[in-house]
Structure 1
Amino acid sequence: MNKRIQLRVALIIVAAGILIVAALAAIIYWKQSTRLINKAPHEQLIEVKSTEVIAERYDAIVTGTDPEGVAAALSAARNGLKVLLVEGSVHGNDRKQLGGLMTIGWLNTLDLNYSPKNPSFLTSLRKPIYLNKGIFQEWYEQIEGSSFDTNTAANVFYRMVAAEPNIDLLMNVQSMTPIMSTESGTPAVVGLNVVKSDGSTATIAAEALIDATQDADIAAAAGAPYTVGREDIGNKNVMMVATLVFKLSGVTQEIWEKIGSHSDAGIDKMSIWGYNAAREYVPSNPDKVKIRGLNIGRQNDGTILLNTMQLFDVDPLDPESVRQGIAIGEHEAPLIADFLIKRFDEFKDLKYAGTASELYIRESRHINGEYRVTLADLMENRDHWDAIAYGSYAVDIQSTSSGGIGTILMNPAQYGVPFRSLVPLEVDGLLVIGRAASFDSVPHGSARVIPLGMATGEAAGAAVKLAKDEQITFRDLSKSEQLVNKLKQNLTKQGMDLKMNSLSVPAYVKHKAYKGLVAAANMNLTSGSYSNDAWDLDGKMNVQRFLNMLRTIRGLHPDKFESNLSFLTASVDNPAQTPLTLNMALYMFARAMGIDTTLDEAKGEMLSQAFTTDATLALVEDQEQLSNGEVFLLIRDIAIEYLGASYE
């Protein structure tokens, strides 16, 4: 009898197991068979209306309706503050909807901050875990996915704002300038002067202002210090390329899947990426425009948006330069579309359908705040005691000249953005959020992404409430561990996830040449790629590669080095095959710096002027063949002592 019962139980367990496996298989099959299908309807844009009566005073004014500004306004309003959200003309374009770069600039593919704790198994059955959550997650769960329909996104932003009775909205102002006071001794923003769309003016007082404009225009007008482009590493005239997104129509489900089946393409239901062969395109004006591989975002009306065009020499702070950039892009877009349609069979049935009305500007001002996020912060996955948001997107350095294609410098697992990075130096009553916040230009390649910017906006909105309640400045708040902890607690209560995950120390950080690596990476002399293992610190350096590095450094600091460095290798028969010795490296550096010395005397000369140190030289294992890492250490010494750089 017992054996029969045991057998029956065993059969039941086996049957249950079969059913579970079958159910799981069915779920997986259904997921796979439907994972590329987008069933979301196309929405008509909701008309965005300004509040009829604008008050004379608000607790907070938020300038700019890009996603970061919307998040800031929502956060402040939900903390009980009366908020004015203001939008003006952006690069000459009057905005008629919320969402800015995403919805008007058509940047409809998200650069997401994934948690390092995402499971690596059954990924097709799981929703990814994102950092920060909060208002970004609330918005994200109402759109289509990794890419989104711009009408959907704009409508969700507007519905969220309209649902908050504490937010007044003022669109299409002709100009806005900060009202300043020096009553407390330090210049402080105390309101905003605006010229409305009808030409009438208004003077609006506020206890605080959050600048969410793309270029930190209000902060700059208030006198907050900043750098431009790559100024912090030597050249303010160098910035990442701009992009004009364009549209193709005629996309059916069959065509979508066909485009995504290309040999080097990746695909989900809303995004396709790849097509590196698109770089074959020959532009009409090679000095001003080219294209890279394709980033494709799907719309709900049978169209797709393509982020591929690279526009060079666009100065975001010069309206005429921006207008010229748009004109060049509008001329080139149909030519690129025609190339894609003829070059790739997957595109043959598509039609060109126009461009965005705004440029995608990646970089302009970088505000100097109470703390500037550094590349070392990202490379070491640093947390901060006052972290109010976290990032993990790769350091994506786009091209800055038509001769290069950009690079993925490295891929942080998770790093903290301090509240101090939102507090500009020299001006009170002001917070700066989004890509213009206080980030060095290189880590800005990661920190500039919109989801992280929305998290900084949410933190800024809550900070206004706390500073108001405590009757202190943002600067004082940024220096109080007790109050910042309270701010973080408040943010957690409103739905943000501010936990730093436990992470192992990256292998490259343990390397003897790590400090030199940080310097070299800041100068774009090396990269670790997505896997962080391409640094090649122990690889052997040759004379030609070192000369190329010197040329790159000179490009960043042209006033510090000789204009022509070719003479440095004139006596070397085959520099690409010649090992770089310690004496040769120091000689080439010295002569490039204008120091008259010889191969034998260069080491002593460089030591005497503190351009290198005994501690660095002690790390060299073979003076007749320097490694890449050992060269990076020499570069670090020069950068600190001669160029005045800092990499901590």
Structure 2
Amino acid sequence: MKVTAVTAAVFIILFCAAYAAFYIWNKNYKFNNNYVWQPLEIIQSTTKLSDSYNVIVAGTDPEGITAALSAARNGMRVLLVEARDRNMLGGLMTEGGLNTLDLNYSPDQPQWLSSLRQPDFLNKGIFQEWFDQIEGSSFDTHTAANVFYRMIHSEPNIDLLMNVKHLEPITDSASEGQTTIMGMNITKEDGTIIKIATRSIIDATQDADIAAAAGVPYSIGRQDIGDGKSKMVSTLVFKLSGVTDEVWQKFREREGTGVDKMSAWGYGDARKYESTDPQRIKIRSLNIGRQNDDTILINTMQIFGVDPLDPSSVEEGLEIGRKEAPLIVDYLKKNYEEFSGLQYAGTADELYVRESRHIYGEYRLTLADVMENRDHWDAIGYGSYDIDIQSTSVGNPGTIMLSPVQYGVPFRSLVPLKVDGLLVVGRAASYDTIPHGSARVVPLGMATGEAAGAAVKLAYVHKESFRELSASEERANELRKMLEKQGMDLSMHNFEKPEYMEHKDYRGLLAAASMYMTSGNYNNDGWDLDTAMNPERFLSKLKRLQAMFPSFYTASADKVVVSMKNASALPLTLDQAAYMLCLAMGATEAETTPELALTQLQMQNFVSKDTLAGIANTNKLTNGDAYMLIRDVMEYYSGVVFE
């Protein structure tokens, strides 16, 4: 008994000592940065180029690097070429200073000692290989660039050519209605033009420049939801120095701020900053990425009105940001004690542009795909990041549409219409603008790049085009097996169906969300389907219909709301909703009335019996009721179904 008691006592003492050590480490040392700063390795371009390659990868952002590595490791001869003036690899994440990652977390996370383990990501493969060599959720841009360069440099099948002046795809339009890639004209830094033959190009440029030049159809910004002028706001990241471990501890002490070893986020009240030009620039809450030389990079600045496809507009945006950055830093130093001793240290060399072209491919990722966490038979990567639609103007604060659990991106979304021999990876792939708010993040873009590189080998072996590959389930299975062998996880995890999908008005919700009429927020609980709709808000939904489908909804129902007193406080009745719909569809006051409109819609089968049966109170429609009416009219009158 004495031995047992002594053993128990020793165990308790050791356990308490271990816990005390862990507590001290977690409180005082866990957040210390012990990484060593690296000088930037000098990039050496290939001096002797071949006349032809199995594939040319355009763009050295992470998606392009991943595509080149994947193709090269599958035995393909690769030319990786960069047409921007860059001195390191990594593009947006290095030259653009976006050193904090938006990560796609797996639904299955480690439970035991989770604080000591790295989280599990959906995007493994080459992304994980790279991630394991950087610092964490945020990273030093030199580390990231050097790791990318070492990975590229270690592959004998890759030739790297930087700082070219212009890239132009060479195409053959012999086939009616179809163009085929034959090679690329490259204007080198010294002005000489070389012609490189290839039957495969992977467009990893941020704006799908090669695809556009080859004739691929695309939409710009929010064009596909009836807003042809708006694009998500651009950002210029800026740097501060003097962030020691002691200063970083102060970031932890700020209420409402989240901090890990390399990242900090929060400071929502920083939005009170008054800029020099409120219509062009403001700031949001801070995303802070730590580096290894006692500096931090801050993603907060919002620059409106930048056209990413117009170089002069981009340059203007850079100038606006460079002038404003020191003023923002002064504001932070005056208002937050932890910033008071820091020094402004400049801005990134490139703008962070979130959105420009969205190509049309053999499949276009829809909101339904993300909202329902769908898998696809040809899924080559998975996402779970929030649909984060950033602000487009000063008066539009942006939207968190929803938080998916896991959804698949089909290989077909990389295969553009009308051009053979071309794949498009990254944020410009074939995604509708709303799901693009999630699918645009870099880790998922790297997954698309890895899939594209492997597809080059598959097409080479079978002597088939990418379009032919994209139509074959057999080839999709081969591609998925190749990617799994390369370390990617292409399994769909088990999880419960989202609660909103069980609601009786879900089909109406899906239609409304697909037309950007509503959002669910981070917890998917903001849909308010059972909350009362009012005439004023219903009118705003009809205006969105008009913007998206102007040929169907040719008139306005404004007069109905204008004639009401306090329309935002009144309940919307079924008769009012039907009347407003009829007016929006072009009916005149002589052709319809509030008393006749519903009967007219029913007679033309524009509203289903099931929808009407689901309305509990015809004198007080809910948001869900209203969305169902809109959904029906969209399908039975406009012929558009969001499913």
Residues 555-575 of structure 1: CA distance to partner in whole angstroms, max 9, x if unpaired? 556776678765322332332
Is 1:117 the equivalent of 2:108? yes
Give the alignment partner of residue 225 of structure 2, picking from 230, 233, 245. 233
Query: What residue in structure 2 maps to residue 52 of structure 1?
Result: 47
Say if 1:483 and 1:201 are closer, same or farther in 2 by CA, change over 3 A. Answer: same
- TM alignment of 1:590-605, pairs within 5 A: 590-596=582-588, 597-605=592-600
Give the alignment partner of residue 612 of structure 2, picking from 592, 617, 620. 617
Deviation at 1:11, TM superposition (A): 5.4
Residue type at the aligned position of 2:613: A
Query: What residue in structure 2 maps to residue 95 of structure 1?
Result: 86
Residues 353-391 of structure 1: CA distance to partner in whole angstroms, max 9, x if unpaired? 211121111011111111111111111111111111000
Say if 1:602 and 1:247 are closer, same or farther in 2 by CA, change over 3 A. Answer: same
Query: What residue in structure 1 maps to residue 123 of structure 2?
Result: 132
Q: Tell me if structure 1 keeps the 8 A contact 2:88–2:145.
A: yes
Say if 1:21 and 1:386 are closer, same or farther in 2 by CA, change over 3 A. Answer: farther
- TM alignment of 1:565-584, pairs within 5 A: 566-584=558-576
Q: Tell me if structure 1 keeps the 8 A contact 2:226–2:544.
A: no
Residue type at the aligned position of 2:505: A
SS of 2:198 mapped into structure 1 = strand
Residues 240-288 of structure 1: CA distance to partner in whole angstroms, max 9, x if unpaired? 1111111122222222221332221111111111111111111211111
Deviation at 1:336, TM superposition (A): 1.5
Q: Tell me if structure 2 keeps the 8 A contact 1:245–1:359.
A: yes
Q: Tell me if structure 2 keeps the 8 A contact 1:149–1:299.
A: yes
Give the alignment partner of residue 508 of structure 1, picking from 476, 500, 504. 500
Is 1:144 the equivalent of 2:139? no
Distance 2:417 2:88 in 1: 32
Residue type at the aligned position of 2:443: P
Distance 1:460 1:104 in 2: 24
Residue type at the aligned position of 1:457: G
Is 1:633 the equivalent of 2:624? no
Distance 1:563 1:322 in 2: 37
- TM alignment of 1:456-467, pairs within 5 A: 456-467=448-459
Query: What residue in structure 2 maps to residue 476 of structure 1?
Result: 468
Distance 2:638 2:240 in 1: 48
Distance 1:439 1:424 in 2: 11
Query: What residue in structure 2 maps to residue 155 of structure 1?
Result: 146
Q: Tell me if structure 2 keeps the 8 A contact 1:35–1:269.
A: yes
Say if 1:237 and 1:157 are closer, same or farther in 2 by CA, change over 3 A. Answer: same
SS of 1:293 mapped into structure 2 = strand
SS of 2:458 mapped into structure 1 = helix
Query: What residue in structure 1 maps to residue 382 of structure 2?
Result: 390
Distance 2:524 2:594 in 1: 36
The total of aligned residue pairs comes to 639
Query: What residue in structure 2 maps to residue 198 of structure 1?
Result: 190
Deviates more, 1:122-131 or 1:591-600: 591-600
Distance 1:300 1:125 in 2: 21
Say if 1:337 and 1:484 are closer, same or farther in 2 by CA, change over 3 A. Answer: same
Residues 425-477 of structure 1: CA distance to partner in whole angstroms, max 9, x if unpaired? 11111111000011111000000000000011011101100110011111111
Give the alignment partner of residue 363 of structure 1, picking from 350, 355, 358. 355
Distance 1:224 1:539 in 2: 43
Say if 1:306 and 1:563 are closer, same or farther in 2 by CA, change over 3 A. Answer: farther
SS of 2:447 mapped into structure 1 = helix
- TM alignment of 1:363-442, pairs within 5 A: 363-442=355-434
Residues 598-647 of structure 1: CA distance to partner in whole angstroms, max 9, x if unpaired? 21122123334554333322221211111111111122234445555442
Distance 1:10 1:546 in 2: 74
- TM alignment of 1:311-326, pairs within 5 A: 311-326=303-318
SS of 2:54 mapped into structure 1 = strand
Distance 1:163 1:24 in 2: 44
Deviation at 1:236, TM superposition (A): 2.1
- TM alignment of 1:28-67, pairs within 5 A: 29-67=24-62
- TM alignment of 1:199-348, pairs within 5 A: 199-348=191-340
Is 1:607 the equivalent of 2:602? yes
Deviation at 1:295, TM superposition (A): 0.7
Distance 2:100 2:196 in 1: 36
Distance 1:598 1:563 in 2: 15
Distance 1:17 1:145 in 2: 34
Deviation at 1:183, TM superposition (A): 4.9
Deviation at 1:344, TM superposition (A): 2.0
SS of 1:535 mapped into structure 2 = coil
SS of 2:419 mapped into structure 1 = coil
Distance 2:15 2:255 in 1: 35
Structure 1, unaligned runs of 5 or more = none
Q: Tell me if structure 2 keeps the 8 A contact 1:235–1:557.
A: no
Q: Tell me if structure 1 keeps the 8 A contact 2:225–2:547.
A: no
When normalised by structure 2's length, the TM-score is: 0.95
SS of 2:163 mapped into structure 1 = strand
Deviation at 1:10, TM superposition (A): 6.7
Residue type at the aligned position of 1:259: F
Is 1:74 the equivalent of 2:74? no
Deviates more, 1:120-129 or 1:491-500: 120-129
Say if 1:130 and 1:32 are closer, same or farther in 2 by CA, change over 3 A. Answer: farther
Deviates more, 1:442-451 or 1:595-604: 595-604
Distance 2:600 2:331 in 1: 57
Q: Tell me if structure 2 keeps the 8 A contact 1:31–1:125.
A: no
Distance 2:639 2:236 in 1: 37
Deviation at 1:585, TM superposition (A): 1.4
Deviation at 1:593, TM superposition (A): 4.0
Structure 2, unaligned runs of 5 or more = none
Distance 1:281 1:593 in 2: 44
Distance 2:182 2:20 in 1: 62
Is 1:489 the equivalent of 2:484? no
SS of 1:142 mapped into structure 2 = coil
SS of 2:91 mapped into structure 1 = coil
Residue type at the aligned position of 1:127: Q
Deviates more, 1:226-235 or 1:588-597: 588-597
Deviation at 1:546, TM superposition (A): 2.3
Distance 2:517 2:136 in 1: 36
Deviation at 1:207, TM superposition (A): 2.6
- The percentage of counterpart residues that share the same residue type is 57
Residue type at the aligned position of 2:54: D
Query: What residue in structure 2 maps to residue 171 of structure 1?
Result: 162
Distance 1:316 1:466 in 2: 34
Residue type at the aligned position of 1:344: Y
Say if 1:434 and 1:78 are closer, same or farther in 2 by CA, change over 3 A. Answer: same
SS of 1:172 mapped into structure 2 = coil
Deviation at 1:178, TM superposition (A): 0.5
Deviation at 1:182, TM superposition (A): 3.5
SS of 1:290 mapped into structure 2 = strand
Deviation at 1:581, TM superposition (A): 0.9
Residue type at the aligned position of 1:165: P
